[in-house]
Structure 1
């Protein structure tokens, strides 16, 4: 994944100012309900700054043998493997993330993309959340 990040920086990938690895990021929006529309989740997110980039994270569970293939495919769309959890049965929890501006349409598209990715790799997409730096009081 480091090579992918370097390639994008050197050859015209979209530069983002938000560092997804900052340790002061907080969850500002989330949805772990398959039937909830992204627009509803984003409307509920009072801490979300819609004018700023966010780290969109997708929480998946995949078979251990499918992790690398799924991460490689997600990497083509700018996703990075953020962290893995302890295996739960036959599936390993994994978080894929990328920096982007959130709106209901793009959030819905990415949620659908990750659900398809998980399904094609015999896994499950549990939900998503978005992180931003905490807002400072004026």
Structure 2
């Protein structure tokens, strides 16, 4: 499996990691990987993303976002529970909610982390469980990295 580590990644590894964590509000963040197919393994999505443009950079932090459809009255509870693991609500609305989610809203929960297949799969499963417990569904996930490190 490719890690997406090109010359830039190799040079960064020689110099060392950033001392500051990635700011999830940076204007230059772009989606470098996404999966909205329940059957797709995180490893497959990440491998595909390492070869895409912009490429996912395995050694760099990413903003991991989980897209959920939840009953409107359960959003605060989801934020509270996910917040225990460092997630914050990055957006809500009624877009992208499947028809089965009557009275549902779309919710994006995000946190910054170095993304790998194992931890991605764990978080995907955790979010699916959270959504189900609250009467909703996990729609999928994506991750963002700065354009300068993604290109």
What does residue 126 of structure 1 align with? 139
**Correspondent of 1:22 among 18, 26, 35:** 26
What does residue 10 of structure 2 align with? none
State the distance in 2 between where 1:134 and 1:41 align.
19
Residues 39-77 of structure 1: per-residue CA shift (max 9 Å, x gap): 000000031010000000000010011010111000000
**Correspondent of 1:34 among 35, 38, 45:** 38
Contact map agreement 1:62 1:94 (CA 8 A) in 2? yes
What does residue 11 of structure 1 align with? none
What does residue 71 of structure 2 align with? 63
State the distance in 1 between where 2:134 and 2:28 align.
32
Larger Rg: 2
Contact map agreement 2:32 2:150 (CA 8 A) in 1? no
**Which structure 2 residue ranges, 5 or more long, are not aligned?**
1-18
Between the two proteins, the alignment pairs up a number of residues equal to: 124
Contact map agreement 1:31 1:128 (CA 8 A) in 2? yes
Report the RMSD for the aligned CA atoms in angstroms.
1.8
Residue 97 in structure 1 maps to residue 110 in structure 2: yes
State the distance in 2 between where 1:50 and 1:62 align.
31
State the distance in 1 between where 2:142 and 2:23 align.
16
**Correspondent of 2:84 among 73, 76, 85:** 76
What TM-score does the superposition give when structure 2 sets the normalisation length? 0.77
**Which structure 1 residue ranges, 5 or more long, are not aligned?**
1-14
For the structure 1 residues 19 and 42, does the alpha-carbon distance in structure 2 shift closer, same or farther, using more than 3 Å as the test?
A: same
State the distance in 2 between where 1:137 and 1:20 align.
15
